[in-house]
Amino acid sequence: MHYKAYAKVNIFLKIVGTRGNYHELVSRFMIVPSLFDTLSFVPKKSKEAFELVGDFNCALEHNTLYRTFMVLKSHGFAKEVERVMGMYALQVSKNIPTGSGLGGGSSDSATFLKMLNDVGNLGLSLEEMMKLGSEVGADVPFFASGYESANVSGIGEIVEKYDEAALDIEVFTPPLACNTAMVYKTYREYFLQSMDQALASKMVTLKSVELLSHFSKEELNDLFPACLKAYPELGIYAKEGWFFSGSGSSFFRLAHKVKNG
């Protein structure tokens, strides 16, 4: 059985405070139904406790999928998840680019969490999966929720469903990856004083199509200037009518605008 791990875009992303080394945000997350990774359980070819099949550029212990496995083990599900991973390898077919601001790693992790819940009969509710997901990564609770659109706040752990269907979105990812830690470091150093909590409070009430109609990418995403500062070459790809997702490097727009250029 194949599971789809959808990409997301940040319709808007406003920084509203700091929490130690973290940044508190208010953001509208929306899935992109046309862009997804595919995860499936396949027969094992090794005797490793956790076998991962796919194109990954980090050590296994640093992979969010492996971290998902370990978080479940630490919360009393060791027997169940070890049984599942004793029978299967996890195969991931990647379509969501790394370092693109589209949440691919977090979406994969949330999807793997659902797979283990289903196949391992863990009996976890959506709320429990969202809570466990927050221990894996900041964006995982949104993907675990199954919501098409949500207002996300705190450091990503507060996810409130926004009642709208996912828009038909076209995504463009430049041939460069943005390092999230570098982008936030740049934001804190150069742009922290520009926080606008009042504007963030207004944006959470507006529908996504209204936000994209009335605000520019600079107004919608506080991290865009920081990305340009950290990666000046990004400016080559910042075209009129396109918006910026997360900490980059992807741009997006409503697909029905394509006919008009």
Q: Please tell me the predicted confidence (pLDDT) of residue 259.
A: 43
Please identify which of the residues 108, 139, 217, 222 carries the catalytic annotation.
139
Q: Please tell me the predicted confidence (pLDDT) of residue 257.
A: 54
Phi-psi region of 103 (alpha: psi -120 to 50; beta: other; left: phi over 0): left
pLDDT 10s per residue in the chain (261 long)?
899 999 999 999 999 998 888 899 999 999 999 999 999 999 999 999 999 999 887 888 889 999 999 999 999 999 999 999 999 999 999 999 988 999 999 999 999 999 999 999 999 999 999 999 999 999 999 999 999 999 999 989 999 999 999 999 999 999 999 999 999 999 999 998 888 899 999 999 999 999 999 999 999 999 999 999 999 999 999 999 999 999 999 999 999 754 444
Please identify which of the residues 8, 14, 114, 217 carries the catalytic annotation.
8
Residue 24 near residue 154, CB atoms below 8 Å: yes
Contacts of 156 (CB under 8 A, 6+ apart): 25, 134, 137, 138, 139, 140, 141, 142
Q: How far apart are CA 49 and CA 73, in angstroms?
A: 12
Residue ranges of domains in the chain, CATH in brackets: 2-161 (3.30.230.10), 169-260 (3.30.70)
Q: Please tell me the predicted confidence (pLDDT) of residue 193.
A: 83
Locate all alpha helices (DSSP H) within 169-216, ordered by sequence.
180-190, 197-203, 208-214
Kindly state the greatest CA–CA separation across the chain: 56
139 is catalytic: yes
22-43 and 88-93: which strand pairing? antiparallel
Q: Please tell me the predicted confidence (pLDDT) of residue 1.
A: 83
Question: What does the pLDDT look like over 162-178, one tens digit per residue?
Answer: 999 999 999 999 999 99
Q: Which two tokens stand for residue 173?
A: 């990812």
118 is catalytic: no
Count of alpha carbons within 13 angstroms of residue 117, beta-carbon side: 20
Q: How far is CA 193 from CA 132, 133, 197, 224, in A?
A: 33, 31, 11, 15
Residue 208 near residue 164, CB atoms below 8 Å: yes
243-244 and 251-254: which strand pairing? antiparallel
Instruction: Map 5-64 to HEC letters.
Output: EEEEEEEEEEEEEEECCEEEEEEEEEEEEEEEEEEEEEECCCCCCCCEECCCCCCHHHCH
Q: How far apart are CA 146 and CA 110, in angstroms?
A: 9
Q: Which two tokens stand for residue 95?
A: 């379509």
123, with CB counted inside 10 A (0-12, 13-18, 19+), is exposed
- The three-class DSSP label of residue 4 is strand
Angle between helices 104-119 and 64-72 (to 10 degrees): 40
